[in-house]
Amino acid sequence: MIRRTVGVLREQWFIVAMLAAIALAHAAPEFGRSGGPLRPELVVRKLGLFIIFWTAGLNIRASQLAAAAAKVRVHLLVALTSLAAVPAAVFWLLRPLLAVGLSAAAAASAGGAVPAPHPSPAAASPHAVPAATVAGQAAPQEWIAALGNGLLVLACLPSPVGSSLILTRACAGNEATSIFNSTLGSLLGIVATPALVFVFLGHAGSVPFIQTLTSLGSTVLVPLLAGQVSRLVIERIRPSLLSLPFSQLSSFVLLGIIYSTFCDAFYVPPAGSAAALAKRSANLPLAALAVLEATLVGLHLMCLLLVRQVGEHILGIERADNVAAMFSAAQKSLTLGIPMVNVLFGDRPDFAVVVLPLLMYHPTQILLDSMLTGALRAWVLADRRSSTKTK
């Protein structure tokens, strides 16, 4: 019995470590929060991302990256899902359903009926200032509309460049495909995200082009090239070193990301500070937060399932590429999202409410995808074994 338990723990060590990281974040969030003593914004998000893409460059041959670039079907699947199907589904389906669910939650909290706001150009305008406030917080119809706007901006974002690669690697997926799609998604997002927000919300925003390119270069290209150079050097000096499990480092980086993300979520700022006032302005009824979280979980799982089914059964994409496409299409970039929401909604008093879907989606996507890595890895490896037997 003990041996079997130890075996399960070894097999599922990442899930156990993830739960421990979340528990530690809940117990002492001030240590791992942004700006805290551990400085996760430097150690995890900068050094950690460098390690992720350095190990990717170390493990991937240049020919594999070139082959990944030629997989047009995968790239089209990711781009059309992330920047077309998801925004359209949120605008025409999930946003109205969210409004109905939030109205019911508000009514249950207030003890009376609260009509769902009817989406209209005026109501959806990013600069429409709430007409009524209660104790410094927007009235129910206003924060329902604000959450709907935030959900729509979230849907228009591309995938992040770090976490999707870590998860693809954990699932034995094609890392080169993940790198290519994450980078391509960020570049497309510079133009596509403001354009989509303009189409759906009727107001134009902008994303700093040079700053985004510089960030991509320092975050992705520099460590990737450093990894490629390291590979060439090691191949000449001691090739056996390449068999070391460098890729396992990314699992520990992901645990650091999970820990720091939940520290930010659990941290309560000092009373009277600007951060405390912002959090208080987003202090919505618990039932409303539950409805929003259920919507975000449903959106993420729907996107994963859509890409998996279309990729496998319609486009005939290999599972190693398909799992990379799943994460690249379903995940949304917090790095690009926060500046975009700031541009569009920064001068509104309900800004903290508008940005809430993005802030909640970030830990949700990391937690859900981390829990799915075991099943998806088995799915990818089964396909690989089947292909080997066929050959």
213 sits in the region (left: phi over 0; alpha: psi -120 to 50; else beta) called alpha
User: What is the structure's pLDDT at 331?
Assistant: 94
Q: Is residue 307 part of a domain?
A: yes
Q: Is residue 4 part of a domain?
A: no
User: What is the structure's pLDDT at 283?
Assistant: 62
Alpha helices in 46-110 (DSSP H): 49-59, 62-69, 72-80, 86-89, 95-110
| CA neighbor of 127 nearest in space, from 206, 195, 208, 203 | 203
Between 249-266 and 49-59, two packed helices, what is the crossing angle to 10 degrees? Answer: 160
User: What is the structure's pLDDT at 383?
Assistant: 86
Q: Is residue 2 part of a domain?
A: no
133 phi and psi, to 5 degrees?
Answer: -130, 150
User: What is the structure's pLDDT at 324?
Assistant: 96
User: What is the structure's pLDDT at 52?
Assistant: 79
What are 137's strand-pairing partners?
134
User: What digits encode the pLDDT tens for the residues 252-304?
Assistant: 887 887 888 788 878 877 765 555 555 554 567 888 889 999 999 999 999 99
Question: How many whole angstroms from its chain centre is CA 43?
Answer: 19
CATH number at residue 33: 1.20.1530.20
In this structure, of 61-75, 301-315, 366-380, the range with the lowest mean pLDDT score is 61-75
Helix (H, G, I), strand (E, B) or coil at 264: helix
Q: Is residue 68 part of a domain?
A: yes
pTM: 0.75
- Total length of the chain: 391
| Average pLDDT of the residues in 307-334 | 94
CB 81 within 8 A of CB 328: no
Say how far apart CA 178 and CA 162 lie, in whole Å.
9
User: What digits encode the pLDDT tens for the residues 177-213?
Assistant: 998 998 888 888 877 888 888 888 775 555 556 766 6
Q: Is residue 151 part of a domain?
A: yes
| Average pLDDT of the residues in 351-377 | 88
Q: Is residue 144 part of a domain?
A: yes
Work out how many domains the chain is built from and give that number: 1
Residue in the structure block whose two tokens are 């150690």: 43
User: What is the structure's pLDDT at 204?
Assistant: 52
In this structure, of 90-104, 192-206, 314-328, the range with the lowest mean pLDDT score is 192-206
CB 156 within 8 A of CB 361: no
User: What digits encode the pLDDT tens for the residues 64-81?
Assistant: 888 888 999 999 999 999
Domain that holds residue 291: 14-385
User: What is the structure's pLDDT at 303?
Assistant: 96
**One-letter amino acid of 233:** V
Alpha helices in 111-248 (DSSP H): 121-124, 140-155, 163-170, 175-201, 209-216, 222-237
- The number of helix segments (H) and strand segments (E) in the chain equals 22, 2
Q: Is residue 7 part of a domain?
A: no
Q: Is residue 237 part of a domain?
A: yes
pLDDT greater at residue 378 or residue 337: 378
User: What is the structure's pLDDT at 124?
Assistant: 46
| Average pLDDT of the residues in 2-15 | 70
Helix (H, G, I), strand (E, B) or coil at 134: strand
Residue in the structure block whose two tokens are 């009509």: 115
CB 377 within 8 A of CB 171: yes
